[in-house]
Amino acid sequence: MNEDRPIAPEWNRVYGEIVYWITFVACLICFIGPMFSMLFPENNAMNPYFTYALVFEGMTGSDIWIALYGEWPWFHYVWWNNFFTGDGFTMFGVALGTTVALWALIPTMFVFARHKLPQYVLFSAIVCFMVVLAASGIIRIG
Amino acid sequence: MSKWLKPPWLELNIMLALAVITYLVILAAVMAMPTPEGGMAGGVIWGWLVGFFVISTLIALVATIGGIGGGVLFTPFILAFTPIDSLIARGTGLIVAMFSGLMATGPVCRSGLANVKMCIFLCVAFGVACFGGALGAVVVAEHLGEFGEAAVRMLLGLVIGGLILYFIFGGKRIEWPDVKVSDKITQYLQLRQPFYEPSLKKVVDYGLTRMGWLFCGILFVGMGSGFFGMGAGWAIVPFQNVIAGTPLKVAAANSVVLLGMGDCVAVWPYFMMGALIPILAAPWLAGQVVGGLLGALVLVQIKAGFVRWLLIGLMGFSCWGLITRALSMWNVIERPPHWMNGLVLLILLTFVMINIVREYRLKD
């Protein structure tokens, strides 16, 4: 142990900052989205009054979507086609937040490459690949 | 300029201000508008939105300091006290498990407390194992039925019980392990990363070892996480500490980064099955972000002993839940009622508080 205060490595700062700010934006969306949902209940993929009623009746997610939206298509179609509605915009915020590791690891890979750490470029690429597989729905469970 | 107007307090204040404004606007809207026939009353929805946000913030605060995902606290709460479908609860539970970690990632990476290289390396194991575990759950359910599931729960409960004893009797040695020599894999990974520790007012240049074994350990933890559909921070922290000699505060910081990263993979199969209900998930996500940031700011400053006792309490509750669930699945005992679970949690929290107060009274 010594007394000099070290600066965090560049990959720490790049990864941390990107994750932090995208998560912050996702959070703001999750405040604003429900507000518009409740202000304009008809301008939603699913009317929030009925959504909450069905959620608390114990219905499954896909059944709720089918009952109120008419179908349960591919996840990303839903927020894309309903981007300017309260819950569609909220869904976009959640999707943005839950893919944040991908958006942060891509630039972090370049930092690792610049610092000649090829093993971490590879590890980062593997994690990115897994996020892409999962978020595109290629990997499914059940 | 006041510190409250500078990052990260500025972001925290923006989020809190937005929370107050949006929930007041929603309250005004639901009071002004009639409830459609067959829908839930607007006032009740408002109550749920605000209640979820507040509970989520509190869960995130505790979870971040302990380096665990809040899913361990969230999922049993939702399944115990609401009629919400278990798939929606598990999908939202993963949001709860990951977002406090994602928001905490910024402060703990910036301060150098978290080791991003180590997290990325371990995330390779965690991500693959999560999927393996989830697939394993299907296989076990098909072939071994309830007996097999109970056996895995009992095994996990006993492992955690052993780790609790190690944490109680390990003392300071656990908080700041002294690793003299690193093995070859650890040296190849170049993981050394000194950081300034405010509670000690010193720079800590910690050593690590046995990263290959830790990789295998995280595979095991990830399998368990995917198998049970719950967070894994309660196991990631002790595994890093016990196997690789990671200081406890670093392990807690790594754990929140790793959970945020790994759950970006684990959460999507649930979403693809329609388990994301945006208006339900939003207040939980927002609460996790606010509580996660607050928790990270506390984590950087607090003593390692506080983290150790908090973890002992949280792991103790997990251990109780796993063992009683296994025994009730084998029909050895009745499933404990909610009041008894609450009483156990209360006793453990009292035990934790007593030890934290005792720790703070001791002069270093």
* Interface confidence (ipTM) of the complex: 0.94
**B105, two tokens:** 């990632």
Q: Which residues contact B41 (CB under 8 A, 6 or more apart)?
A: B35
- Residues of chain A where predicted confidence (pLDDT) is lower than 50: 1-2
Q: Is the pLDDT of residue B283 over 90?
A: yes
Residues 58-87 of A with CB under 8 A from B: 58-62, 64-65, 72, 74-75, 86-87
What does pLDDT average to over chain B?
85
Contact between A140 and B269 using a beta-carbon 8 Å cutoff:
yes
Task: Please tell me the predicted confidence (pLDDT) of residue A16.
Answer: 96
Q: Are the Cβ atoms of A3 and B39 closer than 8 angstroms?
A: no
Distance of alpha carbon A74 from alpha carbon A139, whole angstroms: 13
Q: Which of B22, B120, B203 sits opposite A31 (nearest CB)?
A: B22
B282:A15 CB<8 A: no
| Chain B residues inside the 8 Å CB shell of A119 | 188-189
- Find chain A residues with C-beta within 8 A of B102's C-beta: 19-20, 23, 97, 100
CB-based contact B92:B322 (threshold 8 Å): no
The pLDDT of residue B77:
64
Residue contact A100–B102, C-beta within 8 A: yes
More confident residue, A5 or B250: B250
| Model pTM above 0.95 | no
**What residues of chain A, 4 to 43, have a C-beta less than 8 Å from chain B?**
4-9, 11-13, 15-17, 19-21, 23-24, 26-28, 30-35, 37-39, 41
Read off the pLDDT band of B287 (50, 70, 90): very high
| Contact: B91, A7; criterion CB under 8 Å | no
Q: What residue type is assigned to position B305 of the chain?
A: G
**Residue B146: is its pLDDT beyond 80?**
no
- 């009292």: which residue's tokens? B350
Closest CA to B36 of A74, A98, A104, A49: A49
A to B CB pairs, distance under 8 Å: 289
Token output for B28: 């005004």
| B227 close to B304: Cβ distance less than 8 angstroms | no
Contact between A51 and B280 under an 8 Å Cβ cutoff? The reply is yes
- In this predicted structure, the answer to whether residue B231 has a pLDDT above a threshold of 70 is no
Interchain CB distance below 8 Å, B277 and A31? no
For residue B105, what is the nearest residue in chain A, using CA coordinates? A16
Determine the pLDDT at residue B79: 65
Per-residue pLDDT at B109 exceeds 90: yes
End-to-end Cα spacing for chain A: 51
Burial class (CB in 10 A: 0-12, 13-18, 19+), A11: buried
Of A27 and B65, the structure prediction assigns the larger pLDDT to: A27
Backbone angles phi, psi at B5, to 5 degrees: -105, 10
Structure tokens at B174: 């656990």
- The number of residues in chain B equals 364
Q: Indicate yes or no: CB of A97 within 8 angstroms of CB of B15.
A: no
Contact B39 A50 (CB under 8 A): yes
pLDDT reported for residue A2 = 47
pLDDT higher than threshold 60 for residue B364: no
pLDDT at B63 over 60: yes
CB < 8 Å to B19, chain A: 31
pLDDT(B142) > 80: no
Three-class DSSP category at B201: coil
Question: Are the CB atoms for B289 and A23 separated by under 8 Å?
Answer: yes
Q: Poorest-confidence range of A15-19, B18-22, B63-67?
A: B63-67
Here the tokens at position A105 are 């690891």
pLDDT at residue B81, rounded to an integer: 63
Q: Do A12 and B109 touch (CB under 8 A)?
A: yes
The closest CB to that of B271, out of A8, A24, A75, belongs to A75
**pLDDT above 50 (res B275):** yes
Contact residues on chain B for A133, CB-CB shorter than 8 A = 265
Question: What letter represents residue B291's amino acid?
Answer: G
Predicted local confidence at residue B15, as pLDDT: 95
Residues 93-112, chain A, touching B (beta carbon < 8 A)? 93-95, 97-102, 105, 108
Would you call B30 and A12 a contact, using CB atoms and an 8 Å cutoff?
A: no
Chain B hits for A57, Cβ within 8 Å: 83
Tokens found for residue B60 = 């995130």
- Who has greater pLDDT, A59 or B141? A59
Q: What is the C-alpha to C-alpha distance for residues A89 and A30, in angstroms, rounded to an integer? A: 8
Cα gap A141→A129, rounded to integer Å: 17
Q: List the structure tokens of B34.
A: 């009639």
Is residue B163 scored above 80 in pLDDT? no
Q: Report pLDDT for A139.
A: 73
B340, pLDDT greater than 80: yes
Is A16–B116 a contact, with Cβ atoms under 8 angstroms apart?
yes
Contact state of B110 with A13 under an 8 Å Cβ cutoff: yes
Which of A39, A61, A123 has the CB atom closest to B87's CB atom? Answer: A61
* Contact residues, chain B, for A134 at CB < 8 Å: 264-269
The alpha-carbon gap from A123 to the nearest alpha carbon of chain B, in Å, equals 6
Beta carbons of A53 and B108 less than 8 Å apart: no
- DSSP symbols for B207-242: ----HHHHHHHHHHHHHHHHHHTS--HHHHHHHHHH
Distance of CA B121 to the CA centre of its chain: 19
